[in-house]
Chains A and B, each alone.
Chain A
Amino acid sequence: MPSVLIHDAGPQTTVQDLGRRGSLRVGIPPSGPMDREAFLLANRLVGNADDAAGLECTLIGPRIEFADERWVAVTGADMPVTLNGAAMPRWAAFEVEAGEVLRLGPAASGVRGYLAVSGGIDTPPALGSRATYLRGQLGGLEGRALRKGDCLPLGPASGGAPAEVHEEIIPDYTVEPTVRVVLGPQDDRFTKRGIAALFDAPYEMTSQSDRMGARLRGERIEHTRGHDIISDGVALGGIQVVGDGQPIVLLADRQSTGGYTKIGTVCSFDIGRVAQVKPGQRLRFRRVTVAEAHEFLRAYRRELDDAIPFPSA
């Protein structure tokens, strides 16, 4: 069976697809790539459907060997790519032969790198998705991060014409991103000063961040009357503010419900930027209305569709 062999997995490499839908209501998060845009472009580069499964690598990439000929593409965090020792481009598809070894080095900038392989990774879906949910031991390969010696099955290669991304849309992860936020659902539980703090000052990413949430540190966000609410659902990007006045942005593997006030929600199209901020780096929040957010979402999808001339196959 066509496959890839993991020689070295890196600190946290997982199988991801666009995530599972419909399980939030029983407490299972969607999972999926932390930086959806980079993931999706990697798939398009090798002629895969957007929801084909690929690898998400954290800080340091894996070393993997191919059993047959494939197109591959690496996007996301700036991890140097080599094939049998020779440097290869990022954000562009290239071909690998049977027996060749691909290596993704440590990220010079950004946190999460993505590897797409033509045909996609063909581990069995769990609840309709191949995305790995680590805490729930669900999906991917036995619900866990990859290890040395793992062998991942691949789907039949589609043979689509591989592509490269227009240079202007390749993100620069060294710059401090500004991510857009819609206020709510509990913005009425914060003082004017607290809301102003969120948008005026930058916040620093801490090392306590993971696929569940980005814990940030900065200006204290002041509540009006305590931080506890009757537990309710937590949306992707929800900015929870706990007792110490510090924000936590909830991400792909978030808990489904929570009892802390949420001052606002980072828009879906900017979540990927949050996911690429390294501990010690900073980001800024910018306030937008729901209507503005929908306009930005429209523009974002257009940009994504323009980014790669679609595979001709």
Chain B
Amino acid sequence: MGIYAEPRFLPCGDLALSVELGDDINREVNARVLALEYLIQQKALGGVTETLPSYRSLLVYYDPFTVGWDELTKSLRALCREARPEVLPPARTVEIPCCYGEDLGFELAAAAKKIGLPPDDVARLHASTDYYVYFVGFTPGLPYMTGMPDRLEIPRLDQPRTKTPPGSVAIGGIQCCIYSVESPGGFWVLGRTPLRLYDPSAADPILLRAGDHVRFRMISRAEYDTIAGAVAEGTYTPRMERA
């Protein structure tokens, strides 16, 4: 378990390969994936055209006319040795206001029942810790996060929903996510944030990034509406700090 002694290079067609650094979901492995990606960017590694981090691997697109498989894997192997969390720039902590329950967190009551706690306690517990963003993806801007109190671990929905509203804050297993666009979903929706995780009309449409920390702030239904209005007018600046 954990980090492999040597990275695995897995072919993904003629233009990409996957660098797999470990075999489970843990922050140490993921931090190395992010560090590898960061080093590739910093050193502007020749022939690499695009990268995509996930839990334990980095998808690397390359131009085979600039760099061959052997040369590329050799450079990547060397970078993997340097790819330690310390090389990464300081992480950001992003505050996500969240209205729990009400009409927005439409599965809070059912989830609370399954967990065996009052809904208010589930909401308070959920907002009591920091979450770590392993990567952003599947749909634009959707963060894959852990950091939830153990008490809130819950199996996914038996029947996934066909539609989940964007901004829905939801939990499943030991994970928490925020749906970024309307999409199907198998996590329990506890609340909703008025922030846009993906805003196609913005210059930078994506709010969260791999390696970020997320802190939920409990807000009322009224405050939700106020912030949603400010977001729509483009006058709301999400709170962020660097570690």
Q: How far is the CA of A221 from the CA of B119 in the complex (A)?
A: 44
Contacts of A237 in B (CB 8 A): 13
Residues from chain B with Cβ under 8 Å of A76 in the complex: none
Interface residue ranges of A248-269 to B (CB < 8 Å): 255-258, 262, 265-269
Most buried by A among B52, B53, B68, B206: B52
Taken together as a complex, chains A and B put the C-alpha atoms of A127 and B204 apart, in Å, by: 8
Query: In the complex, which of the residues A21, A257, A291 contacts B138, with contact meaning CB atoms closer than 8 Å?
Result: A257
- Whether B56 and A230, one on each chain, are in contact in the complex, defined by CB atoms closer than 8 angstroms, is yes
Query: Which one of B16, B24, B51 has the highest number of Cβ atoms from chain A below 10 Å of its Cβ?
Result: B16
Chain B residues within 8 Å of A262, by CB: 12
Interface size class of A (residues with CB under 8 A): 35 or more
Closest to A230 in B: B55
B232 within 8 A of partner (CB)? no
Q: B138-191: which have CB < 8 Å to A?
A: 138-142, 144, 180-181
Taking the complex as formed, is A143 at the interface, i.e. its CB lies under 8 A from any CB of chain B?
yes
B193 close to A (CB within 8 Å): no
Taking a contact as CB atoms under 8 Å apart, the answer to whether A266 and B13 are in contact is yes
> Which B residues are CB-close (under 8 A) to A172?
none
Q: Which of A3-41 contact B (CB under 8 A)?
A: 21-22, 24-28
- Majority secondary structure of chain A interface residues (helix, strand, loop or mixed): mixed
Determine whether B200 belongs to the interface, using a CB cutoff of 8 Å to chain A. yes
Is B56 a contact of A136 with CB atoms below 8 Å?
A: no
Query: How many Å lie between the Cα of A304 and that of B24 in the bound state?
Result: 43
11 A-B pairs with C-beta separation under 8 A: A24-B61, A136-B181, A143-B200, A182-B14, A184-B18, A185-B10, A185-B11, A230-B54, A231-B54, A231-B138, A294-B14
Which residues does A use to contact B, with CB under 8 Å?
A: 21-22, 24-28, 126-127, 135-138, 143, 182-186, 230-238, 255-258, 262, 265-269, 290-291, 293-294, 296-298
| 5 nearest A-B residue pairs (beta carbon) | A233-B59, A265-B13, A185-B10, A235-B12, A293-B14
**CB within 8 Å of A: which residues of B?**
10-18, 20, 23-25, 37, 49-59, 61, 64-65, 68-69, 135-142, 144, 180-181, 198, 200, 205-206, 209-210
